[in-house]
Chains A and B, each alone.
Chain A
Amino acid sequence: MGGLAEEAVARAHREEWGRIVATLIRVTGDWTLAEDSAQDAFEQALARWGTDGVPSNPGAWLTTVAKNRAIDRLRRSATERAKLQEVMVMESQDDDELDDRLRLIFTCCHPALTLEARVALTLRTVAGLTTGEIARAFLVPEVTMAQRIVRAKAKIRNAGIPYRVPPGHLLGERLPGVLAVLYVLFTEGYSASSGDRLVREPLAEEAIRVTRLLALLMPDEPEVGGLLALMVLQHARRAGRTDAAGDPVSIEEQDRSAWDHEAIAEGVAILRAALRRHRVDTYQLQAVIAAEHATAPSWAQTDFRGIVRAYDDLARLDPSPVIAFNRAIAWGIAEGPEVGLHRLDLIADRLDGYYLLPAARADFLRRLGRRREAAEQYELALGLAPSEPETRFLERRLAEVTARE
């Protein structure tokens, strides 16, 4: 059994899982049957492709096997005759397949499900991650995650959540819920703040893949383009974000040659296309900020005034404390550390217990040469730091400001 076949199965899993499951759910209305049949098909591929060779059209091969497995399962159940008819006439490469995946995404992200359930279900059903993988990524026991997914599927069935893309007049209010799920998926993968990094990086890639699909299906929605641009631009910098030991490197000190400049160019192009529609939103503004950072030749040559303007707009649309915090930082970088400290003081009461607040104060104080005060703030931040690598980063800074001249 060659590694090539395994690689082909893995690739097919990434590319075909969501489509196969989506089509089987549409035809049978049975989520578990659809997933189990798709799972069987991939297991068969793993057993057969190594000896028989990889089929010329892996997607069609897998769809046929999954369909046959669904028929077998339905035959065993006498009450499922009507569904059986539907599956028998199902085309192996349906014209409807893009719509099927979009149906699946919108159903998994229905507002009648909790955000947690939506995220878990999207990863399981659209992206094809196992329950164990999702549980590890979100640091919950596998049993808990399994229950969460079972509960969500039960609610879809019992409450009559329709398997469809909402009609035009509902699309506007339903799209943000879908984008929120994709954004959570991405940020969970992007921030290595907690959990297993090996599991988390693929989360970001899955989020990008599903968002790309959504952008392809809804090309006229600048919100989708904005989110996709934001993800692509952030992800393009991943190689520079950590050092060899896996510790975070501040963007100021990152090796910009390690960034993926092709991806940056793509992200900027997607963002430009979205901005041309003149319907600005929080994702597009965050992408504008990410693009400023990603395209600047160096930290010193970054257009911080432009970044401050984008944050001002963003704070008007999104009054959350984290946005206010990032805006204060941007002000401090553009106008000087004293302005930054003052801006942080103005919002400090909204950021109680947030370890980045003392860390940011410490950084501004360090730049002002107020080393003793900086050390105090680093100590405070260390008391709140969530993960090992961040703790090491703060300890290094603390050692710098407490070292003898």
Chain B
Amino acid sequence: MLVLVAVHALTALIAPALVRLWGRHALYLVALVPGATLAWALTQTSGVRSGEPVVETLSWVPQLGLELALRMGTLSWLMVVLVGGVGALVLAYSARYFRSDDPGLGRFAAVFVAFAGAMLGLVVSDDLLLLYVFWELTTVFSYLLIGYDPAKRASRRAAMQALLVTTLGGLAMLAGFVMLGQHAGTYRWSEVAENLPGGGYLAVALVLVLLGALSKSAIFPFSFWLPGAMAAPTPVSAYLHAAAMVKAGVFLVAMLGPAVADLSPWRPILLVTGLITMFFGGWSALRQVDLKLLLAYGTVSQLGLLMVVLGAGTRDTALAGVAMVLAHALFKATLFLTVGVVDHATGTRDLRELSGVGRRAPALAVVAGLAAASMAGLPPMAGFVAKEAAVEALLHGGTADLVVLAGVLAGSVLTVAYTLRYLWGAFADKPDVPATSVRKISWPFLAPAAVLALAGAATGLLAPAVDRLLAPYADLYRSAEPGYHLALWHGLTPALGLSALAVAGGAGLFHLMRRERVRATLRLPFDGAAAYKKSMSLIDRLAVELTGKTQRGSLPFYLGVILVVLVVLPGGALLAGSPWPQRFHLWDTPLQGLAAAVVVIAAIMAARALRRLTAMILVGVAGYGIALMFILHGAPDLALTQFLVETVTIVMFVLVLRRLPVKFSERPIRSSRRGRVAIGVAVGVVTAGMAYVAAGARQAIPISVDFPDQAVSYGGGKNVVNVTLVDIRAWDTMGEIAVLVVAATGVASLIFRHARDLDRRGDIPGGGRAESRPRWLTTGATARAQSVILQVVTRLLFHAIVLFSIYLLFSGHNAPGGGFAAGLVAGLALAVRYLAGGRTELNGAAPVDAGAVLGAGLFVAVGTGLAAMLLGGEFLQTALLDFYVPVLGKVHFVTSAFFDVGVYLIVVGLVLDILRSLGAEMDRQQETEDAEDAEAREKELV
């Protein structure tokens, strides 16, 4: 069984390719897959007849107790036969229904066969969770099939409606399953059924499960989605909405029935909702003029009947119920297929426009007539046998059963009436309607419907054989009396009399309805469609209001909210809970106060600056001030790095700011500015409070007290900070250099762009370049504009600086320095070359691609780590090597130096990337624009 499901899935994957190759003929090939399912099921017949289920189990998620537990008993076998058989025939029909150039055909084939696979999985699942998964898969595939034509609004809406309603039910069902499964400690239905809870718990679980079944099978109050789903192509309606998917709910009721039929409130819910559905569905069918909608309402009505019969929950009604499932699948699929044929042959499904079709297409009329006879319950069709069984079973029940019987008979009257309406509407000669022209109907188009109709007749004629096949399911109901047997002829029984009465009543009703006078409007006590619409628009409105309130789309607003929360919550906690340190010191050395004053003044002025350059310089001053504080703190590595980074930052800013306007755009309105400052000050105060409390709160000994010893013994270096970076916390550094590579890539991709549509829009109002302002610091491609002396000096210095950076790199293990600082120094050397001589100088200094440098750095860094692993250590573990080299003498080498080399290369690569993007490429773009402007000016002159 698992193999069959897998074959369906695989076929779904290749179906579009097959359709592309062979057009609609590929559907015949695809039809082989459900056909194989049918064939396999037929080979299992003898085992099923003896009541032996076929079982397959495969462990799936053992942690959740989830297993692919499949089990095919009688009921499942029947469903597999229907799913496979009807599926194959409908696909064969589709091969004539669609045109080869239909753009949606490949998708149709794929989704259809996927649906058949999901349905197959659903009916053979023993595990309730697995059943749920397949259940939702059928929902999703049916959504795709109903929405076959995504360009049509009706089709989209119907698909969405079916999806929402059945998913809602499915979720309720899942909750019910979970309740049952948690109680039983297993989700295998065959075991859960033995171990059911009781009382209110069980009642809630059953109601939830029934919600799923009722919504799936379009039972009141969920009936409305099924007629809407008729927006789908006819083959889809025939399969999903007659034979397969809507039967899932019926199947579930039938599957659970033997164990829960006598438990409250199972039976009352099914009987009441089923009867309502049957009656109103039948009545609505009588008032339709679209043949397909007529059948759709008929299906709703029949599903109601099925629920009633299966819900009655005795051995005999169960037998009648499964016989009815079989009969209904056969005749309803046939009828839908014939409607599709009529539609294709005449171009309409409106019974007011059709006339004389029966005379022009007699074969079609015979096929439809056979199926209709089955639907109306005429002998010798399957529908007759099933209905007899139901009437007989209810006749011998209690008072409640007799009430139900009355309802069922009333439903039968309606069924006969709308069956006649269908036959009359589709095939009869109507005196006041001109005869419809009928195109020739090819036999492959009609054959699938004919096969189904004949199967219906055969089922009726072979009723005793069918009885033997289906009886094992009915026998699951414990029953003392010897049971009923399906047969065509039981003698002149009261049941036969009632059937005859129903047929006569139906004929009479149809006759009355034709006079058009009794078209009384019957309204459902509760309109599901209106409730659906109302709740949908309510949810939509709620979503809009909520989104409109919370999602303002404004970055400052979002940040503001986050920051206010920061002030309120941690700030409040700070005020409420923490013990504030009583002792503090003003500074470690008075010099700190001096540096702090510089930083504070620069930061405040930067926040108030109106010019970009001023702000940039002030931010830089603050940064250098911080570096000074690092020195005074006793952190030379930090100070070194901060100085270098600050310098590189200034270079970057200058490169970009030369293109941006001098001033910031006009300041925002005063009130919102006050708000910003207020939030800023509040956050600053809270952060300062946190700093104050945190610094005094430490009680444990810092982990870093052991670092100096470890640095020497494991890391082989004296500079503890550097060893921390490349060894003790090397993973941090690894992550960080990865971020740097990403940032560099981002910068390059923002500046280098070739897509024309992303190019500047110099002509939009208020936009464009600052044409009138003098340009500064433009470093041209050639050296014509630059100072020659500067160039020469930088060339002389360049190698010395690079050499110094390499010294920093290798000495960094024992003295201030290391990969970061060294890389920044080398990067600054490149920056100086670029500033002095433009991009030719830069290319001369570093004739490599920045990406290559970055990649090489990452390669070296990761390679160091992996090499340590290959040699049996941990990732990035350091090894100390002491060896003797003839000339140099004793050499002490630490492998983490390689890692630092990787870091060095990445930092150099980053700076090079920045210079290439924000420097050289921006120059080039400027020159291009200048050239374009000059050209435009020349044109104007001409």
The answer to whether A and B interact is no
Chain A interfacial positions (CB closer than 8 Å to B): none
